[in-house]
Amino acid sequence: MTEEEVRRRPGGRGARVRQAVLDAAVDALVEHGVTGFSFADVAARAEVNETSVYRRWRTRENLITDALLAVSDRRVPVPDTGSVREDLYAFATLVVEYLNSPLGGALARAAVITVEDPELAAAREEFWRSRIRSAGVMIERGVARGELRAGTNPRLALEALIAPLHSRALLTREPLDEDLPRALADLVLDGLGARDGGRAATA
Amino acid sequence: MTEEEVRRRPGGRGARVRQAVLDAAVDALVEHGVTGFSFADVAARAEVNETSVYRRWRTRENLITDALLAVSDRRVPVPDTGSVREDLYAFATLVVEYLNSPLGGALARAAVITVEDPELAAAREEFWRSRIRSAGVMIERGVARGELRAGTNPRLALEALIAPLHSRALLTREPLDEDLPRALADLVLDGLGARDGGRAATA
C-alpha cells in the first residue's frame, strides 16, 4: 500500500469528495467573498454534481461554515504543549501566520461580512462559536493543571488574546509583528501588573 | 448673553459650519457606508457649498476620519476617575453603549471597510491611531500614579480591552452584555491569575 493510499483511506471516496468541495468553497470565498458565493460555482470548481453538494450541505451557511472551520483546523490547530502559557503563545503565533498569509487575510475579510443577511450572519456566528469552543480546551487544561484559577472564563481569555490580532488585520491593517503573540499571551496571563491591592477578577 | 450664544461662541460661524459638515458626514456614512460617501452628498446635507467642503478637507479620507473622530470623542470620551481600573471600566462601558446604539453599530460596520481602497484604508488607520493615542493617556496616568508597571504598553492594553468588544459587535454580532466591561478591565489589569512563578510580561 503506497503512502498516498494510506493517506486517502479514512472515509474513502465520500471523504475525498467532501474535501474537494470544501477546498473549492475556500477558493470561491477567497475569489468572490461571501456575497458572491454559490453552490453552482463551488460544484463546478470541485467537478462535482451541484445536487450532491446541495444534498450534503443544504444551505450556503452550512457549506461556508464547514469550509472555514476546515481551513482553520488545518492552519491554526489548537496546540497542547503541557503549559498554558506556551499553548497561548503558540496559538497566537499560528493566528498571526494565518492572518499574514494571503489565504488567511482574504478569508478573515470574507468572514466579516458587512452585508445584512441572516443566513450569513448565522454562518459567521456558528464559525466563531465552534472555534472558541475548540480553542477553549487550552484554558480548561490550564485550570485542570492548576496553572489558572478555577472558574476562569475560557471565552473571554481567548477573545482578549485573539481579537487584537483580528482587529489589527481588519481595522488598522497593520503588519502583525512577531513580538505580538508573546506580548498578548503574557498580558492575558499576567495582566498589566496592577498594584491596587490585587483585587481579583470576578469573571 | 443667552446660553445659546455662549455655547456657540468658540469658533463662531466657521466652527458651526464645520460641525454641520461633520454631522452631515456621519449621516452620510450611516446611510451609504464608506463606499457611497461623496463630498457632493455631504455638502447637500449640510446645506453648504461643495467647494467650501472641498477647500477645508481636500480628501474624502480627511473628512471621514474627522467625522468618525468627532463622534467618538463626543460619544466615547476618555474618562479620568483617578483610578486606572475605574477608567478602563468606564471607557469599556462607553464603548459597549456606543456599539449597542444604532449609530455606533452602523459606524463600526462602515469603519471596517472591506473594499480595497488605499485612501479609505489610510482614513481607517488614522482614525484608529488617533483614538488609541488619546485613550492611551489612561494607561500613562496609571503608570504615573504607580498603579501600573513602568514601561507598560498602552496600545496593547487598550487593544486587549476594546478589540473583543468590536469583534463581538462585528464578527459574532452578539449583544454586548453589561458584565463585559468589568470582566475585560479586570482581565487586562490582573490577567488570568497564572501561577507559573509569576514570570512578568516583557512587553
Closest CB to A193 among B149, B184, B196: B149
Residue with cell string 513602568: B150
- Give pLDDT tens digits for B7-37: 445 578 888 999 999 999 999 988 887 778 8
Q: Where are the beta strands (DSSP E) in chain B?
A: none
Domains of chain A and any CATH numbers: 3-60 (1.10.10.60), 70-190 (1.10.357.10)
Tell me whether residues B167 and A168 touch, CB distance under 8 A.
Answer: no
Cα torsion A60, A63, A64, A65: sign = positive
Confidence at residue B87, expressed as pLDDT on a 0 to 100 scale: 97
Please state, in angstroms and rounded to a whole number, the distance separating the CA atoms of residues B32 and B112: 14
A179 — contact with chain B (CB < 8 Å)?
A: yes
- d(Cα B134, Cα B163) in Å, to the nearest integer? 16
Listed in sequence order, the residues at least 6 apart from A34 whose beta carbon sits closer than 8 Å to its beta carbon are: A64, A110, A111, A113, A115, A120, A123
What whole-number distance in Å separates Cα of residue A160 and Cα of residue B188? 8
CA distance A141 to A88: 12
- Interchain contact, A85 vs B196, CB within 8 Å: yes
Question: Could you tell me if B203 and A202 are in contact, meaning their C-beta atoms sit under 8 angstroms apart?
Answer: no
CA-based max dimension of chain A: 65
Q: At what angle do helices B12-32 and B102-112 cross, to 10 degrees?
A: 80
- Quickly list H helices, B76-153: 84-100, 102-112, 118-135, 137-144
What pLDDT is attached to residue B112?
62
Instruction: Look at residue A119 in the predicted model and tell me its pLDDT.
Output: 73
Write down the residue that cell numbers 443577511 correspond to: A117
pLDDT reading at A4 higher than 50: no
> Is residue A203's pLDDT more than 50?
no
> For residue A144, what are the contacts with CB-CB under 8 A and spacing of at least 6?
none
* Mutation target vs B (from A64, A171, A176, A178; most B CBs, 10 A cutoff): A171
The ranges of chain B with pLDDT < 50 are: 1-8, 196-203
Chain A contact present for B84, CB below 8 A: yes
Residues 6+ apart with CB under 8 A from A52: A17, A43
**A146 in reach of chain B (CB within 8 A):** yes
Query: Quick one: pLDDT at residue B55?
Result: 93
- Which whole number is the average pLDDT over A112-129? 72
Q: How far apart are CA B137 and CA B117, in angstroms?
A: 31
ipTM greater than cut 0.85: no
Angle between helices A180-190 and A84-100 (to 10 degrees): 140
What whole-number distance in Å separates Cα of residue B170 and Cα of residue B167?
5
Among B168, B184, B200, the residue with its CB nearest the CB of A190 is B200
**Model confidence pLDDT, tens digit, residues A148-162:** 988 898 999 999 999
H or E element, residue A24? helix A12-32
A112 inside 8 A of chain B by CB: yes
- pLDDT winner (highest mean) among A1-10, A75-84, A116-125, A174-183: A75-84
Count the neighbouring beta carbons within 10 Å of the beta carbon of residue B188. Answer: 27
